[in-house]
Chains A and B, each alone.
Chain A
Amino acid sequence: MIQVQHDEVGGDRLVLTQKGPLKSFLFLSLRNGLLNVITLTLYRFWGRTEVRRRLWATTYLNDDPFEYTGKGIELFLGFLFAIGVVVLPFLIVLFGAQFLGPALAGLVILPLYIFLLFVFGFGRFTAFRYLATRTSWRGVRFHLRGSPTGFGLAWLGYVLLSAVTLGWFWPAAQRRLSGRLWGGLSFGNHNFQFHPEEARRVGVYGSYAVGWVLGIVGYVIFVAVIVATLAPQIAAAQKTGAPPGFTLAHMATIYIATGGLTLFYVFALAPFHAAMLRSVVAGIGFADVRFKLQLGWLEFALLAVSNIVLLTISLGFLMPFVEARSRKFLIARLDTRGAFDLAVIGQGDAPRPSTGEGLADAFGVATV
Chain B
Amino acid sequence: MQGAYNDGRTARTLAVPVALDGETLVFQADNGEHRWPLASLTIEALQDRVRLSQRGGGDARLSLALEDWRALTRNAHVHHRAQRRRLFALVAALATAAASLATFVFVVIPAASGPLARRTPPELERKIGDNFEKQLTIGLRPCGGKEGQAALAALGHRIGAAGDTPFQVRVRAVHAPMVNALALPGGAVLITDQLIDLTRSPDELSAVIAHEVAHLRQRHVMQAVWRSFGFGVILDAMVGGGTGAGQQVVLLAGSATSLRYSRSAEAEADRIGQALLARQGLSSAGMASFFQRLAGTSEGPGSRAVRELISDHPDTERRAEASRARATPGASAFTSAEWRSVKAACKDGWRLRRPF
Contact = CB atoms under 8 A, between A and B. Distances in A.
Contacts of B238: 40-42
B244 A311 contact: yes
Contacts of A137: 11
Contacts of A167: none
B343 to A, nearest CB: 13
A362 B237 CA distance: 9
B111 interface: no
Contact of B131 (A72, A98, A366): A98
A247 B68 CA distance: 67
B102 A139 contact: no
Contact of B98 (A40, A227, A342): A40
Interface in A104-120: none
A33 B245 contact: yes
Contacts of B299: 245
Contacts, number: 181
Interface stretch (B33-41, B56-64, B199-207, B328-336): B56-64
Contact of A227 (B2, B61, B356): B356
Contacts of B98: 38-42
Contacts of A188: 10-11
B8 A347 contact: yes
B249 interface: yes
B84 interface: no
B47 A364 contact: no
A346 B240 contact: no
A67 B101 contact: no
B112 interface: no
Contacts of B250: 40-41
Contact of A141 (B59, B233, B247): B59
Contacts of A101: 131
B4 interface: yes
A39 B91 contact: yes
Contacts of B10: 140, 188, 343-347
Contacts of B4: 2, 4
Given A39-B91, A241-B197, A319 B245 contact: yes
A58 interface: yes
Interface string B240-252: 1111111111100
A99 B11 contact: no
A57 interface: yes
A99 B11 CA distance: 60
A234 B354 contact: yes
A359 to B, nearest CB: 10
A138 B13 contact: yes
Interface stretch (A44-52, A150-158, A295-303): A44-52
Nearest to B91: A35
B310 interface: no
Interface in B139-198: 177-179, 194, 197
A131 B178 CA distance: 51
Contacts of A37: 245-246, 249
Given A35-B91, A99-B131, A243-B179, A316 B243 contact: yes
Contacts of B49: 2
B74 interface: no
B107 interface: no
- Chain B interface bracket (under 10, 10 to 19, 20 to 34, 35 or more): 35 or more
Contact of B61 (A53, A139, A315): A139
Nearest to B134: A102
B90 interface: yes
B14 A1 contact: no
A139 B243 contact: no
Interface string A126-151: 00000000001111110000000000
A37 B250 CA distance: 8
A67 B51 contact: yes
Given A243-B178, A347-B59, A41 B8 contact: no
B11 A41 contact: no
Contacts of B194: 241-243
Contacts of A263: none
B177 A39 contact: no
A345 B59 CA distance: 14
Contacts of B101: 40
18 contacts: A2-B63, A2-B64, A37-B245, A39-B91, A41-B98, A44-B246, A57-B44, A65-B46, A65-B47, A98-B128, A99-B127, A99-B131, A137-B11, A139-B59, A139-B61, A237-B177, A316-B245, A342-B11
Given A40-B246, A41-B238, 16 more contacts: A2-B3, A29-B245, A32-B243, A33-B246, A37-B246, A39-B91, A46-B90, A58-B47, A139-B11, A141-B59, A188-B10, A242-B194, A316-B245, A317-B244, A345-B10, A346-B9
Interface of B: 1-4, 6-15, 44, 46-47, 49, 51, 59-61, 63-65, 68, 90-91, 94-95, 97-98, 101-102, 127-128, 131, 134, 177-179, 194, 197, 233, 237-250, 297, 299, 351, 354, 356
Sort A-B residue pairs by CB-CB distance and give the 10 closest, nearest first. Answer: A316-B244, A36-B246, A40-B98, A33-B245, A139-B6, A4-B15, A39-B94, A343-B12, A345-B11, A37-B246
